[in-house]
Amino acid sequence: MTTTITLTGAGGQIGYALLFRIAAGDMLGPDEKVRLRLLEIPQGLGAAEGAALELQDGAFGLLEHVEVTDDPAVGFDGCDLALLVGARPRGPGMERGDLLAANAGIFGPQGAAIAAHASSDVRVTVVGNPANTNALIAAAAADGIPAERFTALTRLDENRARAQLAQTLAVPVDTIRRVPIWGNHSATQFPDVSHATVAGEPVAKALEAIVGDVPTWLDETFIPRVAKRGAEIIRVRGSSSVASAANATIEHVRDWVHGTDDWTSAGVVSHGEYGVPAGLISSFPVRSIDGEWQIVEGLEISEWAQARIDASVAELVEEREAVRALGML
């Protein structure tokens, strides 16, 4: 079988980190051939064309075809998986409203182009920020495609949270499970350890033995460290997260297509679960079953946790209102 994958922002940093892993089979597995469509704006075409030449030189057996274009109609033609990475970054002096408007001008037309040209069962993953609201805008513009096919990446936040827990507890990261991210992919996000386990045991007990007062550690150390990890990477590395973001994108799509054996996190459309207003694209604990994300329901949420979820969701509501006020939703 062959899957057609459209990558926007293919000439950018995350695009460069993603392409070779996709071609090597890390996303869809060793039996699935891939056809890549690299969609850029005119200024980014040279970098995308260069990446296409290098893909050729990688001589990847799974890579059937690469096409570089700045035309969304060509870029999304027959697309099964859309990775929307290209976005307008916040420039100097740019207000949040300007940023939302600039991105609505990208993600609205891309949503419409997906509806017009992609496969009817297309799966869309938005990485470009503000990811949740960009996904909302694209979904709203994609007439005829269910909003459930549009997701925002919060897997990197979850991976950061699991890694911080593993480091604190001095255990291998794959022994840490069930650390969902709630809300927005922003500094208001809520990485939630209430249901987390380490080697199958509740994480809270293990944490108490190491950090003492767990609620204070969560408030003052863990949550801010995870939520501001992107800024920490920029400070230390001198550039934003790239390979870790590409890795999280690979894992998000792989799990969506192939299924999960436990919970993970993804920005998906709310139907009112956990008090999140219907229609918003918010991060939730999710499972992937039969190729569909399902929100993990029925979890006991403390008052403290609900307040954190509500605060991040309030930011999503504000972003939706701002985009509506601009007439772009």
CA-closest candidate to residue 185, choices 217, 208, 218, 151: 151
137 marked ligand binding residue:
no
Q: How many CB atoms lie within 10 A of CB 189?
A: 26
CB atoms near residue 249 (< 10 Å): 24
What span, in angstroms and rounded, lies between the C-alpha atoms of 118 and 19?
20
User: Residues 66, 56: contact at Cβ < 8 Å?
Assistant: yes
Contact criterion met (CB below 8 Å) for 99 and 328? no
Encoding tokens for residue 164? 């911080």
Per the CB < 8 A criterion, the answer to whether 106 and 149 are in contact is no
**Closer by beta carbon to ligand NAX, 185 or else 308:** 185
90 annotated among ligand-binding-site residues: yes
Return the number of other C-beta atoms located less than 10 Å from residue 91's C-beta.
9
Question: Which C-beta is closer to ligand NAX: that of 189 or that of 288?
Answer: 189
Is residue 185 annotated as a catalytic residue, yes or no? yes
Nearer to ligand NAX, 198 or 253 (CB): 253
Q: Specify which residues 183 forms β-bridges with.
A: 283
Residues 6+ apart with CB under 8 A from 30: 62
End-to-end CA distance of the chain: 37
Comparison of 85 and 140: residue with beta carbon closer to ligand NAX: 85
By Cβ distance, which residue is nearest to ligand NAX?
A: 12
| Residue 233 marked as a ligand binder | no
* Residue 129 known to bind ligand: yes
| Least distance (Å) between residue 214 CB and ligand NAX | 26
User: Which parts of this chain interact with ligand NAX (CB under 6 A)?
Assistant: 8-9, 11-15, 39-41, 43-44, 47, 85-87, 89, 106, 127-129, 131, 153, 156, 185, 230, 240-242, 245
CA distance linking residue 283 with residue 32, whole number of Å: 29
Closest approach, Cβ 38 to ligand NAX, in A, equals 9
**91 or 144, CB closer to ligand NAX?**
91
Amino acid letter, 213 = D
Rounded CA gap, 306 and 73, in Å?
42
Q: Which of 65, 117, 185, 258 is catalytic?
A: 185
Q: What is the nearest approach in angstroms of ligand NAX to the Cβ of residue 309?
A: 19
Nearest residue to 183 (alpha-carbon basis) of 280, 103, 255: 280
Angular region, 84: left φ>0, alpha ψ -120 to 50, beta rest:
beta
State in angstroms the smallest separation of the CB of 199 from ligand NAX: 27
Structure tokens at 27: 């996303």
DSSP code, position 58: T
Does 183 carry a binding-site annotation? no
Smallest separation, CB 263 to ligand NAX (Å): 18
Is 287 marked as a binding-site residue? no
Whichever of 50 and 61 has its CB closer to ligand NAX, that residue is 50
**What is the smallest separation between the CB atom of 113 and ligand NAX, expressed in angstroms?**
10
Tell whether 11 is in a known binding site: yes
Q: Please check if 128 is assigned to a binding site.
A: yes
- CA dist., res. 107 & res. 86, Å (int): 9
> What are the binding residues for substrate?
90, 96, 129, 160
Catalytic residue positions? 185
> What are the binding residues?
9-15, 90, 96, 103, 110, 127-129, 160
